[in-house]
Amino acid sequence: MTQPTRGAGTIRPVRASTYFFGALGGLLFGYDLGVVAGALLFITPQLGLSHLQTGMVTSSLLVGAMIGALGCGRITDRVGRRTVVLGAAVLFGLGAIGAALAPNLFWILAFRLIMGLAVGTASVTVPVYLSEISPASRRGSLSGLNQLMISSGILVAYLVNLALAPAQAWRWMFGLAAIPAVLMLIGGYFQPESPRWLIKKGREAEARAVLARSRTPEQLDAEIAEIVRINESEQQQMRLGAMIRDPRLRRVLLIGSGLALLQQVVGVNTVIYYAPTILKSIGFTSGAAILANAGLGGLTVVVTIIMLTMVDRVGRRRPLILGAIGMCAAMVLLAALFYSGGLTHGTAGWLAITGLALFKICFSLSWGGLVWIMLGELFPLRARGTAMGVATFFNWAGNFAVGLLFPVLLGVGTGLVFVIFAVLCLVSSGFALAFVPETKGKSLEQIERDLGHTANPATAVDLVG
């Protein structure tokens, strides 16, 4: 499959399938995350689970993802991006089939943990891979396909849950994920390896062949020369300890980890998991709440597509700053809903839907896709996998912590929870303003050079645009 690109011969036809299969791990990431809410409705009574055990089914995936993210970073640097993607596909398939056939809680937990390992691995490797194969001028939209796949995976999970709920078929809900896992394995087998990783391993001829698929001969020579130059000046593969001791790399690692953590503490997954609960608490029927939630999932996919068409023009920094302000406004709206008693059912319903939709629109235009895009761009080649693994670990840890604390905080007061999220959205906006560089349109090597020359945000003039 080929997709002609615009621009009077500046970029040769790009193989769309390369990007599609490269991003497929994102679909499984979203699906496995989204499907559990529906499945739990039936696992809980059928297996007689306690509240704690129900929580364990959800969180086992997140624990696996934390371990997978942290563990796969160095492996990705050592054995290659493609090999790790193939490994993740096998784990996805194993986890899906195992959880579907599990005879008891122990086995469900074990296979959800395996699925988590795959989700964590994909969340590290997919952004790096997409970033490393994309031409600089379109890297945002191509590597943003990851987020499109994640939100589509969540939507597919909602729809599968809706379709299978009447049959209470939780085993099928888990098991169907094996289909994209097999596709990912087959597609991944035919995928090229990342050209940047190939050069790091001294396999320049192969890297040339990969890049030649989507670059003109002049672009190809220039890009190869730039990667080789950067690579020669930094032959040494970097370990985490060495990164932490180097002030410039430490700073980049902190920016990446901060972005990854803040993406979670703004409350996105509580909005995803608890939207039906929020809607029911203000008087929606279960059916209407689930339908409205699926509608919100559809909206997320559409807005993510819009983000992909804009990201290489508007850049990363401004949407991160402004998007978080919009997300804050949405949280204030939701907080107001719970603080103001005596609203009519109609008014409360509209306020809730508007707040939830506004949050999803702003998140999807900014922190949703942009964090993953930027994590694939920020780190230097010699430490990209390792650093990405660390930053991504913070994303999963944040996801886990918010999931754990949210029900506790709800006990204190729903309005208060949304106020806390509103404040954290403002903190995120300030973080982007103070620390996040602009990476739009630059090659990964240029970003690396610029960041290497930038000791503190005040001197980052070159990067802030």
Contact positions with ligand BGC (CB under 6 A) in 154-173: 154
CB contact at 8 A, 362 and 326: yes
Least distance from ligand BGC to the Cβ atom of residue 268, Å: 5
For ligand BGC, what does the binding mask look like between residues 354 and 373, x meaning CB under 6 A?
A: --------------x---x-
Least distance from ligand BGC to the Cβ atom of residue 208, Å: 33
The token pair at 249 is 């790399």
How many angstroms from the chain centroid is the CA of residue 286? Answer: 29
Q: State yes or no: residue 272 binds ligand BGC (CB under 6 A).
A: yes
Q: State yes or no: residue 126 binds ligand BGC (CB under 6 A).
A: no
Taking the least distance from each CB to ligand BGC, the nearer of 372 and 418 is 372
- Binding residue for ligand BGC, selected from 109, 150, 262, 331, defined by CB under 6 A: 150
Cβ count within 10 A of residue 441: 15
Taking the least distance from each CB to ligand BGC, the nearer of 123 and 454 is 123
How many angstroms from the chain centroid is the CA of residue 329? Answer: 23
Taking the least distance from each CB to ligand BGC, the nearer of 209 and 405 is 405
Least distance from ligand BGC to the Cβ atom of residue 209, Å: 32
Residues β-bridged to residue 15: 2
Phi-psi domain of 330 (left: phi exceeds 0; alpha: psi -120 through 50; beta: other): alpha
Q: State yes or no: residue 268 binds ligand BGC (CB under 6 A).
A: yes
**d(C-alpha 96, C-alpha 118), whole Å:** 11
For ligand BGC, what does the binding mask look like between residues 289 and 328, x meaning CB under 6 A?
A: -----------x----------------------------
For ligand BGC, what does the binding mask look like between residues 224 and 263, x meaning CB under 6 A?
A: ---------------------------------------x
Among the residue ranges 103-111, 144-152, 221-229, 313-321, the one whose residues contact ligand BGC (CB under 6 A): 144-152
Taking the least distance from each CB to ligand BGC, the nearer of 61 and 198 is 61
- What are the angstrom distances between the C-alpha of 206 and each of 18, 188, 237, 350? 16, 17, 20, 56
Taking the least distance from each CB to ligand BGC, the nearer of 121 and 263 is 263
Q: State yes or no: residue 125 binds ligand BGC (CB under 6 A).
A: no
Rounded to the nearest 5 percent, the helix, strand and coil shares of the chain are: 85, 0, 15
Taking the least distance from each CB to ligand BGC, the nearer of 191 and 395 is 395
Q: State yes or no: residue 151 binds ligand BGC (CB under 6 A).
A: yes
Q: Dump the DSSP string for 315-341.
A: -SHHHHHHHHHHHHHHHHHHHHHHHST
The token pair at 269 is 């997954």
Outline where 134-200 has alpha helix (H). 139-143, 145-164, 170-175, 178-189, 195-200
From the list 68, 210, 82, the residue with the least C-alpha distance to 135 is 210
Residue type, 221: D
Taking the least distance from each CB to ligand BGC, the nearer of 220 and 290 is 290
CB contact at 8 A, 393 and 69: yes
DSSP 72: H
Least distance from ligand BGC to the Cβ atom of residue 70, Å: 16
Binding site for ligand BGC (CB under 6 A): 33, 147, 150-151, 154, 263, 268-269, 272, 300, 368, 372, 395, 399
